[in-house]
Chain A
Amino acid sequence: MSEQNTQQQLNSPNQTLCEEALALLPAYGLGATDADETRLVERALQACPQVAAELVEYQALAAALLHSAPSSQSPAALGDRILRAAAASSAATVVMPKPTVVTSKPAQPAAARRRTTPWGWLAAAAAVALLVTNGYWFTQVQDLRTQQDQLSQRLTARNNVIERAAEGELTRIELTSVDSSTSDGLPAAIVLVSPDGTVGAVYTRQLPVLPPDQSYQLWFLDGATGTPVSACVFQVRENGNGQSWLIDVAVPLDLSQIGAMGITIEPAGGSPQPTSDPIAAVEV
């Protein structure tokens, strides 16, 4: 819409007002009018349809100007800081005690304070108990949030494994039971592993359930040196089936370096090196 057309279509009774407003509109669109000018434009917006119509264009221009700021790289650490602050603000919102419990009453004269009734002491004790309880729940919620964050990270990593498995990017390797007398010919475990050895999963079937002080541990053996590298520590369910994800450790071997894989029984939590012979293994 041109300014010329706009001028022709102005209502004559408000012509002066509308003309003044049109002249101010470019600055108004930027938010640069002074208070009296702003009032004038806002009065004109009620009386002059063309002023309102033209304002739409200037506001669109102002919105586009927002995107004209030269691009700057936001600091990498800033994102972490924001997430920490958000977590803290959520925790505070949920559990911070309201300060009305103790300080809601105006200060009393000294004489009155000396005459504190049993009910007053009870209220004070209740307030203290409430604060202690709130502090406890504050800690509990923060712990839960930490656990939630860890769980969320693990789920994201698992989804990454699943996605790569679905894309066919993971190599499948079968481990057979070393004890042929108990073997039914089917694999005791299947390992899915990425070419760089950093992500994957292990699935087991019909392995004995271990006592609480023991765990299964999967090892990759370096083909060149024969050095075992721990891939993961896991338990199996009551039916002997189990699964684990190679997401807690970055195995420093790529697939071409792995000479063999094996599963051993180790003390709970795993060992730095295998302490027993493998119950299932395969040469890669």
Chain B
Amino acid sequence: MCCGEKYDLCYTHSWIAYRHKHAAMSNLTILTDPELMSRIVRQEQAALAELYTRFGGPVYSVARHVLQDTGMAEEVTQDIFLKVWQQAVTWDEQRGKLVSWLLTMTRYTAIDRLRKEQRRPLRSSSSIDDLYDLIADSEQTDENLRLEGETLRGLMTQLPQEQTDLIRLAFFGGLSHSEIAERTGIPLGTVKTRLRLGMQKLKHMWLAANDDKR
């Protein structure tokens, strides 16, 4: 019997189950990334808030690491989430994890900003569609990606410092061979050699670490 007949409220098991299910469906924290993005496409602000809760930290971390400035990192983080708010429909879950798409976009945007600040010309395209070519981890979970980032940080400490520095300047600084040479005063040939050796070693160690995990 439903007590709603008398009290406007039903305590039966089915009522509780129904309401509980309804409440759970309204709870954004349990949504998958694609479900969350479809709500952002529908311009649900609560979904954008949830997206920020999930990925605000990683996005801000990449922006800050590239820019080395909290103010600019905040601006870039805001730009990224507004870009998602306006162009969420361009994310294709078949082509990459949401977090990787966001972080790749963040890296490009932050590097663009860095170049504008330093009045350097842009070297690469940063259209959203191009980013998919750089995302190759659709099978990874967010937690795995985070752990992989930690692993890589550990592996990079095993490289000679001069190689690590150049990898970071290239990747997070958005500098080319010749720009690194100009910036650091290191001969161009040496820059190329150090970067190549560093990346080759890092790749070997990273693949070996991944094999060990399996």
- Is A61 part of the binding interface, using a Cβ–Cβ cutoff of 8 Å? yes
> Are the CB atoms of B149 and A69 closer together than 8 Å?
yes
- Is A276 part of the binding interface, using a Cβ–Cβ cutoff of 8 Å? no
- Is B183 part of the binding interface, using a Cβ–Cβ cutoff of 8 Å? no
Chain B residues contacting A56 (CB-CB under 8 Å) are: 136
> Are the CB atoms of A74 and B57 closer together than 8 Å?
yes
Provide a sorted-by-A list of 15 A–B residue pairs whose CB atoms are within 8 angstroms: A26-B200, A32-B176, A32-B195, A60-B137, A64-B148, A64-B152, A66-B62, A69-B58, A70-B153, A90-B85, A152-B46, A163-B23, A163-B27, A203-B7, A205-B6
> Are the CB atoms of B171 and A65 closer together than 8 Å?
yes
Complex CA distance for A30 and B191, rounded to whole angstroms: 14
> Are the CB atoms of A63 and B199 closer together than 8 Å?
no
> Are the CB atoms of B124 and A86 closer together than 8 Å?
no
Chain A residues contacting B135 (CB-CB under 8 Å) are: 63
Complex CA distance for A162 and B17, rounded to whole angstroms: 11
Chain B residues contacting A163 (CB-CB under 8 Å) are: 20, 23-24, 27
Total number of B residues with any Cβ neighbor in A under 8 Å:
78
Which of B22, B85, B100 has the most chain A CB within a 10 Å cutoff?
Answer: B85
How many A-B pairs fall under 8 Å by CB? 200
Complex CA distance for A70 and B62, rounded to whole angstroms: 8
> Are the CB atoms of B176 and A74 closer together than 8 Å?
no
Which of B70, B149, B200 has the most chain A CB within a 10 Å cutoff?
Answer: B149
Flag A61-80 by CB within 8 Å of B: 1 or 0 each: 11111111111111100110
Complex CA distance for A139 and B178, rounded to whole angstroms: 53
Other than the given A63-B100, A74-B52, 18 more pairs (CB < 8 A) read A23-B196, A24-B196, A31-B124, A65-B149, A65-B152, A66-B100, A69-B66, A72-B64, A73-B57, A74-B57, A75-B70, A81-B78, A89-B85, A149-B45, A166-B17, A203-B9, A241-B8, A243-B8
Chain A residues contacting B124 (CB-CB under 8 Å) are: 31
> Are the CB atoms of A162 and B22 closer together than 8 Å?
yes
B123-168 contacts to A, CB under 8 A, are: 123-124, 133-137, 145-146, 148-150, 152-153, 156, 167
Chain B residues contacting A229 (CB-CB under 8 Å) are: none
A16-32 contacts to B, CB under 8 A, are: 23-24, 26-27, 29-32
- Is B118 part of the binding interface, using a Cβ–Cβ cutoff of 8 Å? no
Evaluate whether A26 and B65 lie within 8 angstroms (CB atoms) in the complex, with A67-B103, A67-B149, A89-B86 already known. Answer: no
Complex CA distance for A65 and B164, rounded to whole angstroms: 12
Complex CA distance for A35 and B26, rounded to whole angstroms: 50
Complex CA distance for A34 and B179, rounded to whole angstroms: 9
> Are the CB atoms of B103 and A66 closer together than 8 Å?
yes
Instruction: Output the nearest chain A residue to B45 by Cβ-Cβ distance.
Output: A83
> Are the CB atoms of A159 and B26 closer together than 8 Å?
yes
Complex CA distance for A55 and B134, rounded to whole angstroms: 10
> Are the CB atoms of B82 and A67 closer together than 8 Å?
no
